[in-house]
Amino acid sequence: MSRSAAELWNDRPWQKVLGKYQRSSLGRSIWQLVNTLVPYLGLWALMAWGLSRSYWFALLLAPLAAGFLVRIFIIFHDCGHGSFFRSRRANDFWGVVTGILCFTPYFHWRHEHSVHHATSGDLDRRGEGDIWTLTVQEYIKASRWKRFAYRLARNPFILFVLAPLWVFLIQQRFASGDAGKRERRSVYWTNRALLALVAMMCFTVGWKTYLLVQFPVMMIAAAAGVWLFYVQHQFEDTYWERRGNWDFTTAALRGSSYYKLPRLLQWFSGNIGFHHIHHLSPSIPNYRLQECHDADPVFQEVTPITLVSSLKCVNYRLWDEERRKLVGFRDARRKRALRIAAVER
């Protein structure tokens, strides 16, 4: 989105524009629970049954089951924003239930995610709920070991294969240092619920069957989830600004992508590709995001990222404050070489 368009939107009574889409529909929410949870549990059972015939049969179903698990996470996500149901109790109840299925403590995650929404695009408030991002200057001035660690963290295999498993299977088992009492209890009770669930599944279907079904589904779903989150904010012309100049509305419209996915993938990802709308108003339930996007011409100025063009995002690893865009390591090496040459003169 151009700067003028973002500024124009800032001048508009945007709460009034968004207001009619911020209401959840009980019928649509219940139907989404049904058309997501029932197929997921059915596919899980079918994979477990298929193991006795052929593990390849079970593996062929894993991507489909993972798609439904991603959709479960979107419901969990909406409950965390209080947008899935009008009732706070209903949001909290289903947030806890879907959180267990996603191996994620609901109240702890909700707090961290609210920080992400409050600080997204703010260079002076990086570090919680976002992808580790350095500026070009920070990278150039960093020690050799820090540069190595950063390059390792930004390696696609680490970022989209190992890191997702680490986040959902290990990191989410522990409370963050600044977590409150409720958030800490959320972690403890989720861990206990998961332990009970795993024990029950091992008793009923066997530990080997459970692992052979759950692990590939979790691995694919976690990788897809991290990829979606990455593309939502790590694209070339995204928005980063120092705190004094940071603006919430501009950060939402320019710093969150419109990921235009094929219809099927859009359905499985719960319309989260309309991320610019979501950051502008987290109170809009996922099934109303496209309606809101289509309703106002200002949103049409947001340049979409397609499935093919999104692959380029892997190469954007550092924020160039001078050029105001994400760049690759090659640009940083070039700047570093020029800086060394200037000092030697």
Q: Where are the beta strands (DSSP E) in 124-209?
A: 134-135
The model's pLDDT over 44-96, given as tens digits with 9 standing for 90+, comes to 999 999 998 888 989 999 999 999 999 999 999 999 999 999 999 999 999 99
Average of pLDDT values for 107-116?
A: 95
Please write the tens of the pLDDT for every residue from 290-334. Answer: 999 998 877 877 889 999 999 999 999 999 999 999 999 988 777
**Average of per-residue pLDDT values in the chain:** 91
User: Could you tell me what percentage of the chain is helix, strand and coil, using 3-state DSSP and rounding each to the nearest 5?
Assistant: 70, 5, 25
148 token code pair: 């190595």
Structure token pair of residue 154: 């930004």
Nearest to 244 by CA among 125, 134, 113: 125
> What is residue 4's predicted lDDT score, i.e. its pLDDT?
46
Q: State how many domains the chain has.
A: 1
Tell how many helices (H) and how many strands (E) occur in the chain: 17, 5
pLDDT at position 266 is: 97
Compute the distance between CA of residue 5 and CA of residue 299 in angstroms, rounded to an integer.
Answer: 9
User: Whole domain around residue 53: which residue ranges?
Assistant: 3-344
User: Is residue 128 within 8 Å of residue 119, measured between CB atoms?
Assistant: yes
Q: What pLDDT does 3 receive?
A: 47
Give residue for tokens 């660690």.
149
Pairing of strands 134-135, 318-320: parallel
